[in-house]
Amino acid sequence: MILKFSKNSKTKIDEILERYPNKQAATLPVLFIAQREFGHLSREAMEAVAKILETSYAHVYGVATFYTLYNKKPVGKYHVQICGNLSCSIMGGENIQEYLKKKLKLNFGETTQDGKFTLSSVECLASCGTGPAMQINEAYYEKLTPEKVDEILNSLK
Amino acid sequence: MVEITVDGKKITVPHGINLIEAARLAGGFIPHYCYHSKLSVAGNCRMCLVEIEKVPKLQVACNTTVRDGMVFYTNNDRVKRAREQVLEFILVNHPLDCPVCDQAGECKLQEFYMQYDLRESRFRESKSHKPKVVDLGPRVVLDMERCILCTRCVRFCREIAKSDELCVSERGSRNKLTTYPGKALENAYSTNVVDICPVGALTSKDFRFKRRVWFLKKEKSICPGCARGCNIEIHHHDNKIFRLVPRTNEEVNQCWMCDEGRDTYKPVLAQNRLRSPMGFEAGQRTQFSSTEIMPRIQNALSGIAGIDGKSIVGIGSAQATNEDNYALKKFLEITFKSKNLLYHKNESDHPTHDNFLICADKNPNTNGIEALDFVKINTNKKFQAFFILGNLPEEAIKKIALEKKRVVIMLATHDDEDSKWPDFVIPTTTFAESTGTFMNIQRRVQKISPALISPGESRSAWEFFSDLSTYFGKENPIYHSAEAVFQDIVEEHLCYQGLTYKSLGETGKVCP
């Protein structure tokens, strides 16, 4: 299957490409656009990116697999990423992790059957002053408590 | 030029080179894994750390260029200690495969460990496990546990082969060398990654487990695969070739060769090599000895009524050396006063070629045979007697042969369809058993030297013609070495002026 970028994404990619000395240099931002557009970086998505950047599949694959921020497997509509690093843990992050696992009935790396939530434990979200922190898709949620987590999850349709 | 001091030795070196090259010019050596002079600098193995005066930390020599007045040390205590530590880290996850590893004996990990480390491992944790025996492509196998992630192969594919098939995936201890999933490493130069792999991670499917490298003897030669004439080493043992590897010649092949060329040794070892002269006795194809065949050839030739120089032709081969072709030329000229010189070459309709090494002309000596005044088979003349170098199908001479009575004497390497039809077949040598020269596409004359003893009674064409002319009783030059043949070539052909066999050296000389 050949994946095609939407018109909107294409315009964005063109804007990005203008900022770089060569096309290959734009691998990271274009991979993010692909992830937003296609949900995760499937082989087809990586190949589409390689074609746009006029670079090899191997190069894109190497970059995409290096960064954990790119999802190489499908994720749910909401990708809940809870920080597992030190600062958040000191502020009660471990409790929040357990609470999320229980509430969503998921282990890390799993997706709910309805495809709504994926739960991941991630490294530092650079929000150490406001821990515990989590990121759902591209939004940050800070100073989490179980009540706040309930409220956030209930608000997600 | 800049003046630098390497380990206390003052030396002037070219501007802009790095410290590894500079140390080399100073007669020293800085150990390294990831650095390769033909590839971009990666600086990831950290093995080449050196101490530079006025720079507080040790620096990688590969990624540091010389500056005027630079003073650096490649072997002081600080550098030695750093090297030991780097090696210790590289060896942390390296498996102890040496007894079953093909690289053993030519492995930079083994060598540098013996030279620079030689300590017992302090690592007590379990080593990380990664895929073994990964089929990367038609010619290369990967053992990921042995890989030290120097990325030479990745850079080779990107920068030299321009195929960019390899990458390092994931990160940290999960780092893996890989092709894109579902794709193979199959560029036309893929086996070079085996040569440049400093460890046993990438091995050649063709060579794997065939022979321990310390048994191999090495003979400098030229690849006969195409007109490029890549400089090679023939690695052999027990009168068998085990692999061909490129030899450095900056003007011809740098330090690379193509995969096709690496297979050119296979026909040498074929089962159907001709071992003794063949002729016909009462209509039956029969073996003869080298001495028995001479009078028969003479009888057959004198059996043709009115035979003279005009009806005799020599068909040289663009696959054969200058010496073999010249000996044929000289033999016909003196014995029969014949100046009919044609040649044949290997041709295919769609030969592979590229802008790098692979030439469309799959013959190592087309320029050479043309310089000896042979012309390609394409004439209206008819001939009765044929001296042919190399296996050739009967169709090739149909147009130029008189149908009534003809005699064909062929010097062939293999017993196949193309050598079944001639009246006489003399077994001769392949490139791997010959001494002589080829002239490549750049008109560079390069020497080949024999790695193997040729099978049975086969011998070089120049030896055969030397003997045959003696038999015919003519005052022919009798050659005892290819060098002597070459000397005659030089004297007779203007384009060779000023060359001697010795002056060709290991990398050849270009004819004007």
pLDDT at B322 over 70: yes
The token pair that represents B64 in the structure block? 């540091």
Q: For residues B304 and A137, which has the higher predicted lDDT (pLDDT)?
A: A137
A63, A27 Cβ separation under 8 angstroms: yes
Q: Is B491 exposed, middle or buried (0-12, 13-18, 19+ CB in 10 A)?
A: exposed
pLDDT for B90-140, tens place per residue? 999 999 999 999 999 999 999 999 999 888 889 999 999 999 999 999 999
Query: Chain B: residue nearest A57 by CA?
Result: B180
pLDDT for B138-152, tens place per residue? 999 999 999 999 999
- CB atoms B166 and A43 under 8 Å: no
pLDDT of residue B452: 97
pLDDT for B24-80, tens place per residue? 999 999 999 999 999 999 999 999 999 999 999 999 999 999 999 999 999 999 999
Cα–Cα distance for residue pair B463/B454, rounded to 1 Å: 13
> Candidates 3.20.20.80, 3.40.1190.20, 3.40.30.10, 3.20.20.370; correct CATH number of A78-156?
3.40.30.10
pLDDT of residue B475: 66
pLDDT of residue B82: 96
pLDDT of residue B110: 96
A65 touches B at CB < 8 Å: yes
Query: Chain A: residue nearest B164 by CA?
Result: A56
Q: Is B126 exposed, middle or buried (0-12, 13-18, 19+ CB in 10 A)?
A: exposed
Class at the top of the CATH hierarchy for domain B278-510? alpha beta
The token pair that represents B425 in the structure block? 């077949």
pLDDT of residue B141: 98
- CB atoms A58 and B167 under 8 Å: yes
B238, B171 Cβ separation under 8 angstroms: no
Cα–Cα distance for residue pair B396/B415, rounded to 1 Å: 18
Q: If pLDDT is split at 50, 70 and 90, which confidence band does B380 have?
A: confident
- CB atoms A58 and B170 under 8 Å: no
pLDDT for B232-254, tens place per residue? 999 999 999 999 999 999 999 99
CATH architecture of the region A7-66: Orthogonal Bundle (1.10)
pLDDT at B379 over 80: no
Q: How far is B117 from chain A (nearest CA, A)?
A: 32
Average pLDDT over residues B172-201: 96
The token pair that represents A47 in the structure block? 């190949």
pLDDT of residue B306: 76
Q: Dump strand ranges (E) for B107-207.
A: 134-135, 140-142, 166-169, 176-179, 202-204
- CB atoms A59 and B168 under 8 Å: no
pLDDT at B403 over 90: no
The token pair that represents A35 in the structure block? 């992830």
> Candidates 3.40.50.11890, 3.40.50.10240, 3.90.1300.10, 3.30.70.20; correct CATH number of B97-107+119-215?
3.30.70.20
Average pLDDT over residues A50-73: 96
Average pLDDT over residues A33-39: 94
Q: Residue-wise over B374-386: b if at least 16 C-beta within 10 A, else e?
A: beebeeeeebbbb
CATH 3.30.70.20 boundaries in chain B: 97-107+119-215
**Residues of chain A neighbouring B165 (CB-CB closer than 8 A):** 56, 58
C-alpha pair distances (Å), B379 with each of B343, B397, B435? 11, 10, 32
Class at the top of the CATH hierarchy for domain B2-90? alpha beta
Q: If pLDDT is split at 50, 70 and 90, which confidence band does B304 have?
A: confident
Mean predicted lDDT score pLDDT of chain B: 95
Average pLDDT over residues B364-391: 92
**Residues of chain A neighbouring B169 (CB-CB closer than 8 A):** 61-62, 65-66
Q: Dump strand ranges (E) for B32-189.
A: 49-52, 59-60, 71-73, 134-135, 140-142, 166-169, 176-179
**Residues of chain B neighbouring A22 (CB-CB closer than 8 A):** none
Q: Of B51, B53, B48, nearest to B37 (Cα)?
A: B48
Cα–Cα distance for residue pair B430/B437, rounded to 1 Å: 13
pLDDT at A157 over 90: no
Q: How far is A99 from chain B (nearest CA, A)?
A: 30
The token pair that represents B391 in the structure block? 């296996």
Highest average pLDDT, of B155-159, B344-348, B377-381, comes from: B155-159
- CB atoms A65 and B164 under 8 Å: no
Q: Please, what is the end-to-end C-alpha distance for chain A in angstroms? A: 30
Running DSSP on this structure, what letter comes out for residue B215?
A: G
Cα–Cα distance for residue pair B93/B452, rounded to 1 Å: 41
User: CB-CB: which of A43, A55, A58 is closest to B166?
Assistant: A58
User: CB-CB: which of A57, A62, A65 is closest to B183?
Assistant: A57
Is the complex ipTM higher than 0.90?
A: no
Query: Chain A: residue nearest B172 by CA?
Result: A66
**Residues of chain B neighbouring A59 (CB-CB closer than 8 A):** 164, 167
CATH 3.40.30.10 boundaries in chain A: 78-156
A6 touches B at CB < 8 Å: no
C-alpha pair distances (Å), A132 with each of A128, A145, B223? 8, 8, 67
Query: Dihedrals φ, ψ of A54, to 5°?
Result: 50, 45
Q: If pLDDT is split at 50, 70 and 90, which confidence band does B176 have?
A: very high
Q: For residues B474 and A99, which has the higher predicted lDDT (pLDDT)?
A: A99
The token pair that represents B93 in the structure block? 């996850």
Q: How far is B171 from chain A (nearest CA, A)?
A: 5
pLDDT at B397 over 80: yes
Q: For residues B448 and B380, which has the higher predicted lDDT (pLDDT)?
A: B448
pLDDT of residue A131: 87
pLDDT for B462-496, tens place per residue? 999 999 988 888 666 778 899 999 999 999 999 99
**Residues of chain B neighbouring A61 (CB-CB closer than 8 A):** 167, 169, 178, 180-181
CATH 1.10.10 boundaries in chain A: 7-66
**Residues of chain A neighbouring B158 (CB-CB closer than 8 A):** 56
CATH 3.10.20.740 boundaries in chain B: 2-90
pLDDT of residue B156: 98
The token pair that represents A124 in the structure block? 């530092």
Strand B278-281 relative to strand B375-376, pairing? unpaired
CA A87 to chain centre: 21
The token pair that represents B43 in the structure block? 């600086």
pLDDT at B213 over 80: yes
Q: Show Cβ contacts of residue B31 under 8 Å, excluding neighbours closer than 6 positions.
A: B47, B48, B83, B108, B112, B115, B116
Task: For the beta carbon of residue B73, count every other beta carbon within 10 angstroms.
Answer: 18
pLDDT at A51 over 70: yes
pLDDT for A132-156, tens place per residue? 999 999 899 999 999 999 999 999 9
